[in-house]
Amino acid sequence: MELGISSLGHIIESGRTKRDNYSDMIDLLIDATEECLKFSEERNFNVCELIIDPPDIFTDDKKKRFIDLCNSFAIKKQVHGPFIDMGMCSHNDKISQASVESYIETAEMCQEIYAQIMVIHPGVANFLINSIKNYNTNQLIKAVNKLLDAVADLDVIVCMENMPKKALMLLKEKEIEEFFSAVNRNDLFLCYDTSHGWTNDLDVSYLWEKLHKIIKN
């Protein structure tokens, strides 16, 4: 087990206390990322998880700034892909496909900053019509397969994260188990978020018994 920290806290803090200092979200992201990397190395953390959101960071000039910044720090890095407005499970095919493409770009960036783990989100299931949930699940499975096929040649471990209650997707231990069984691939892993699990009264013992071999972080 490695002790690490996420840049999310620095992003939120900078957004709340220094928002007038930034011309756009990318400046905020880069500044908060630098602060987190410095904080991590000064306190001898083993790993730093970098939030890549918003996806505007992928434009050429901004992307180079971010990559150069990350590579100026020696600490081990992993990446949390975009999650705001992402929806691989969306019943809207265009939204699902755009989410896949965004994660592909994220995986390619992982290569450039030597990050071997990329965490992804499923999106939010339809909250008005419960009967559509099966469609959301099938859409997610299809999208995940597209993503994994597209990044197969990259040195990146893709981890699907369990979700908080309001997301309505990948909440409870059996749903998570069934999802991984349906995907049925050896190149998809699980990121277990303890706080997300708490919102769903998730049975940690069951999850560990069934899926501990694929939990990467």
Question: For position 1, what pLDDT does the model report?
Answer: 66
Distance CA 176, CA 171 (A): 7
Q: What is the length of the chain?
A: 217
3-state secondary structure of 18: coil
Per mean pLDDT, which range of 30-44, 51-65, 74-88, 150-164 is the poorest?
51-65
Distance CA 123, CA 90 (A): 7
Tokens of 50: 């970098």
Give the DSSP per-residue string, 9-78.
HHHHHHHHHSGGG-SSHHHHHHHHHHHHHHHHHHTT-SEEEEE--SGGGGSHHHHHHHHHHHHT--SEEE
Question: For position 132, what pLDDT does the model report?
Answer: 77
Give the DSSP per-residue string, 133-174.
HHHHHHHHHHHHHHHHHHTTTSS-EEEEEP--GGG-SS-SHH
Superfamily of domain 81-217: Divalent-metal-dependent TIM barrel enzymes (3.20.20.150)
Distance CA 121, CA 168 (A): 12
pLDDT confidence bin for 157, thresholds 50/70/90: very high
CATH 3.20.20.150 domain extents, the chain? 81-217
Distance CA 135, CA 145 (A): 15
To which H or E segment does residue 17 belong? Answer: helix 8-17
| Residues sharing a CB contact under 8 Å with residue 34, sequence separation 6 or more, in sequence order | 69
Residues 107-125 pLDDT 10s: 999 999 999 999 999 999 9
To which H or E segment does residue 183 belong? Answer: helix 173-183
Residues 62-101 pLDDT 10s: 889 999 999 999 999 999 999 988 999 999 999 999 999 9
The radius of gyration computed from the CA coordinates of the chain, to the nearest angstrom, equals 17
Distance CA 48, CA 199 (A): 25
